[in-house]
Amino acid sequence: MNNLILSNKKTMSSLEIAELAGRNHKDVMRSIRDMEPAWEKINGRNFALVEYRDSKGEMRPCYELDYKECMYVAAKFNDETRAKLVLRWDALETGKATPAYQVPSSFSEALMLAAQQQLQIEEQQKQISCMSTEIVEMKKKTDYLEIILSSRGTVVTTQIAQDYGMSAKAFNRLLADKGIQRKVNGQWILYAPYMSSGYVHSKSVNITHKDGRPDVKMNTEWTQRGRLFIYETLKKCDILPLIERSIINSAS
């Protein structure tokens, strides 16, 4: 709700009247403006035009009306709205309600009010910024996960390493440094906590040595579940695949 910078008199603003009437403030302002000449002619003075700070922190005009002025303006509205205005004034007079808009009684209070409003604006901006960050995060995760989930087969370490702009040798060493795997008889093997998780499986590859001897080598291949495990584990360490880094760079 907007906060007014008004005097310390008991008044009702055009903003509050608009709220009670369920109408746009600009329409209520227009109605009051149309009624002002007749009031000035009979009463000898204009309605008080003051300012309030809107939700964007900008100063906007509004009318500040006392009881008689408010009752005069109420003639423009229907029976229901006039009844709401009468009850609102009664609540204000009897102390059963506080003004809907904060009215500072001193310069120091006005400064405090302005500071509070600035904090509210900054909080709103922070929330918008957080929402933008969340959207980027969702976009990043969606793009890379789509790549993972679109593949049904297994992949070798070289393929995953390319996603991160690394060689297979460097990537295997990275996974070893993170306590994920170790090398046994020339093959990378997962540590015990991950062995039964379905992240990898071994594949036999026929090879021929330089001296012509045939042999069989065991290679480790990653399942898509294992690939997702790598992604989530490295992300906690701020190590992201290339596709996510490009999204961050384009968003910044």
What's the rounded Cα separation, in Å, for the pair 157 and 172? 7
What is the residue extent of each domain of the chain? 3-103, 131-251
Q: Give percent above pLDDT 90 in the chain.
A: 16
**pLDDT for the residue numbered 134:** 53
Which region among 8-22, 25-39, 112-126, 225-239 has the lowest average model confidence (pLDDT)? 112-126
Check pLDDT > 50 for residue 101.
Answer: no
**pLDDT for the residue numbered 4:** 43
Which is more confident, 103 or 200?
Answer: 200
Residues ≥6 apart with Cβ < 8 Å to 237: 178
Q: Residues 94-99: contacts with CB within 8 Å, 24+ apart?
A: 99/10, 99/12, 99/16
Check pLDDT > 60 for residue 28.
Answer: yes
Check pLDDT > 90 for residue 182.
Answer: yes
Residues ≥6 apart with Cβ < 8 Å to 243: 140, 143, 144, 147, 163
**pLDDT for the residue numbered 113:** 58
DSSP symbol at 206: E
What's the rounded Cα separation, in Å, for the pair 120 and 118? 5
Beta strand residue intervals within the chain, DSSP E: 3-5, 12-13, 48-53, 59-65, 155-156, 181-184, 187-190, 200-208, 214-222
| Mode of pairing for the β-strands spanning 3-5 and 200-208 | unpaired
* Phi, then psi, of 203 in degrees rounded to 5: -130, 135
The half-sphere exposure of 176 on its side-chain side, counting CA atoms within 13 A, is 13
